[in-house]
């Protein structure tokens, strides 16, 4: 599958990482040169510097041949424009748009080229499953055949785990922390890593429930 992601922020980067790891052809476009430069060598994706609200930029990024376009910027106005251009001018078969402000949710429909509108608070796993329309695309995240799940949890300022090293967090049996995503970048989690607000953890487990993971960190 060819996927085009507009927006190289935390969400766009995470989606790109997962889709690329699952073997998809992924392109990420963003107008912020610092963001694009920061991702060089970090992700196995094509990076395009430019404003995805411009038709020429979308065309350069490959929207005409993409199977999936995801508008994941932090601005609802931009996501609507990107969606409309992707659907109307580039004939993208599937367009997903992030809704940052719930008050704008009513705008995100097929009139603006949006096939699937995703609230900003939607968990990463659910968002990718919605975007791709098939859970097998995200086998990296949900390995049901092997009896293994990857469970996501986000550390907030109110989480009991804030400031604690991973070694102090009691995890359910058969559960390990696979990665800590901090400021959009995945890191290998050592036992001395101290958790900070905004950290997103992906945990691999063959037995723990989401509630058990939530209780351990929140």
Question: Do 115 and 95 contact (CB within 8 A), yes or no?
Answer: yes
pLDDT at res. 216: 87
What residues are paired with 102 via a beta bridge? Answer: none
126 and 155 co-located in one domain:
no
Instruction: Give residue 101's domain range.
Output: 2-138
* Tens digits of residue pLDDT in 143-189: 443 455 677 788 888 888 999 999 999 888 878 787 788 876 777 77
- Choosing from 82, 107, 138, the residue where a domain stops is 138
How many structural domains comprise the chain? 2
Angle between helices 10-21 and 124-132 (to 10 degrees): 60
pLDDT at res. 211: 80
SS3 sequence of 83-114: HHHHHHCCCCCCEEEEECCHHHHHHCCHHHCC
118 and 174 co-located in one domain:
no
Gyration radius of the chain's alpha carbons: 18
What's the whole-model pTM score? Answer: 0.63
CA-nearest of 120, 132, 117, 178 to 152 is 178
We report the CATH number of the domain holding residue 68 as: 3.40.50.720
pLDDT at res. 28: 96
- Choosing from 138, 171, 192, the residue where a domain stops is 138
- 75-89, 97-111, 134-148: least confidently modelled range: 134-148
- Choosing from 80, 110, 138, the residue where a domain stops is 138
For the cut 80, the answer to whether the pLDDT of residue 137 exceeds it is: no
24 and 91 co-located in one domain:
yes
pLDDT at res. 13: 85
């Amino acid at each position: 599958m060819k996927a085009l992601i507009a927006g190289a922020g935390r969400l766009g980067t995470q989606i790109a990482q997962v889709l690329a790891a699952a073997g998809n052809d992924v392109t990420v476009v963003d107008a912020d040169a610092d963001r694009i430069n920061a991702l060089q060598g970090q992700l196995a994706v094509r990076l395009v510097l430019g404003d995805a609200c411009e038709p020429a930029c979308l065309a350069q990024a490959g929207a005409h041949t993409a199977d999936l376009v995801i508008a994941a910027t932090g601005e609802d106005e931009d996501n609507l424009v990107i969606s409309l251009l992707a659907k109307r001018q580039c004939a993208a078969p599937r367009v997903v748009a992030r809704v940052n402000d719930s008050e704008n949710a009513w705008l995100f429909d097929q009139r603006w080229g949006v096939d699937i509108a995703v609230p900003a608070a939607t968990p990463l796993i659910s968002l990718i499953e919605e975007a791709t329309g098939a859970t097998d695309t995200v086998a990296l995240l949900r390995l049901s055949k092997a009896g293994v799940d990857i469970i996501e949890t986000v550390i907030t300022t109110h989480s009991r785990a804030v400031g604690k090293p991973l070694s102090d967090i009691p995890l359910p049996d058969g559960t390990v922390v696979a990665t800590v995503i901090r400021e959009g970048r995945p890191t290998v989690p050592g036992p001395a890593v101290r958790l900070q607000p905004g950290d997103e953890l992906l945990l691999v487990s063959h037995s723990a429930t989401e509630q058990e993971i939530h209780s351990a960190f929140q």
